[in-house]
Amino acid sequence: MRFKSDEELLGKLSEELDHLDMLYADVTPPSLPELEQLIAGEAVRRRKRRRKELLLFILVALVLVTIVISVLSTAPVLYWSLQAVFILSALGSLGAARIRHGREES
Whole-angstrom distance, CA of residue 59 vs CA of residue 81: 27
pLDDT of residue 64: 95
> Does residue 65 form part of some domain?
no
> Does residue 88 form part of some domain?
yes
> Does residue 13 form part of some domain?
no
> Does residue 48 form part of some domain?
no
Whole-angstrom distance, CA of residue 85 vs CA of residue 18: 65
- Cβ contact 84:90 at 8 Å: no
Domain carrying residue 83: 75-106
User: What is the mean pLDDT of the segment spanning 12-39?
Assistant: 89
pLDDT tens-digit map of 55-101: 999 999 999 999 988 888 888 888 888 889 999 999 999 999 999 88
> Does residue 33 form part of some domain?
no
Whole-angstrom distance, CA of residue 38 vs CA of residue 51: 20
Model confidence band, residue 52 (pLDDT cutoffs 50, 70, 90): very high
How many domains does the chain contain in total?
1
> Does residue 102 form part of some domain?
yes
Exposure letters 41-64 (e unless 16+ CB within 10 A, then b)? eeeeeeeeeeeeeeeeeeeeeeee
> Does residue 22 form part of some domain?
no
pTM above 0.75, yes or no: no
Which of 7-11, 20-24, 62-66, 102-106 shows the lowest mean pLDDT across its residues?
Answer: 102-106
> Does residue 97 form part of some domain?
yes
